[in-house]
Structure formats: structure tokens, C-alpha cells
């Protein structure tokens, strides 16, 4: 992957992250306004406010991560010092498998 593709991927991740922040905060606002008409019983009213708090808290957390620049989304990069000596990535295993297949074909 060249630098241009990498920059494009980072831009897409940033756009998607900001979009999802608006989705979570928007859902919190819509639920707080009772747009979905959930308050037929007191229990559903409590569930609705629970979801308002959860969506708002997660939206704020995601917004903080976007501002901080933490765009890993579960794809943590490991330093060489942190890795277990026996640890190999999936990409490394595929390269080794391709190399083994090439050696068999020769």
C-alpha cells in the first residue's frame, strides 16, 4: 500500500468516526425527545432514559477518541518490544504459506 492509499484510508476512518459520533449523539437526542414513543409504561420510560445515557456517554467517548486521534478501532499496532517472540501476525503467516507453496512448485 502506498502513502496515498494510506492517507485515503485514514481520511475514511476519520470521516466514519465523526459520522458515528453524530449517530450516537443523535440517537441520544431522539430518545430523550421520545420520538419513538416508548413511554407507555414506567419501565419502558426507565429503559429509554438508560439508552439515552448509554448513547450519549458512548458518543462523547467516541468524540474524545476522534479528537485525540486514536483511530485504531481494534487494530492495535504492537511495538516489537511488546510482542511475544512466538507471535506472528496473520499477514506474516500468509506470506510464509505463500513462500512454502512457491518452494513446493519449484
SS3 sequence, the chain?
A: CCHHHHHHHHHHHHHHHHHHHHHHHHHHHHHHCCCCCCCCCHHHHHHHHHHHHHHHHHHHHHHHHHHHCCCCCCCCCCCCCCCCCCCCCHHHHHHHHHHHHHHHHC
Residues 65-77: tens digit of each pLDDT: 888 876 655 555 5
Is the overall model pTM greater than 0.85, yes or no?
Answer: no
Note the pLDDT tens digit of each residue in 39-89: 777 888 888 899 999 999 999 999 998 888 766 555 555 455 555 556 666
Amino acid at each position: 500500500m502506498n502513502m496515498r492509499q494510506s492517507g485515503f484510508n485514514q481520511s475514511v476512518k476519520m470521516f466514519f468516526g465523526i459520522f458515528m459520533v453524530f449517530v450516537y449523539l443523535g440517537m441520544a437526542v431522539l430518545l430523550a425527545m421520545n420520538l419513538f414513543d416508548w413511554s407507555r409504561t414506567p419501565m419502558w420510560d426507565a429503559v429509554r432514559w438508560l439508552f439515552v445515557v448509554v448513547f450519549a456517554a458512548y458518543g462523547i467517548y467516541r468524540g474524545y477518541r476522534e479528537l485525540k486521534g486514536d483511530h485504531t478501532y481494534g487494530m492495535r499496532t504492537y511495538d516489537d518490544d511488546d510482542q511475544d517472540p512466538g507471535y506472528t501476525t496473520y499477514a506474516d503467516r500468509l506470506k510464509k504459506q505463500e513462500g512454502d507453496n512457491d518452494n513446493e512448485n519449484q
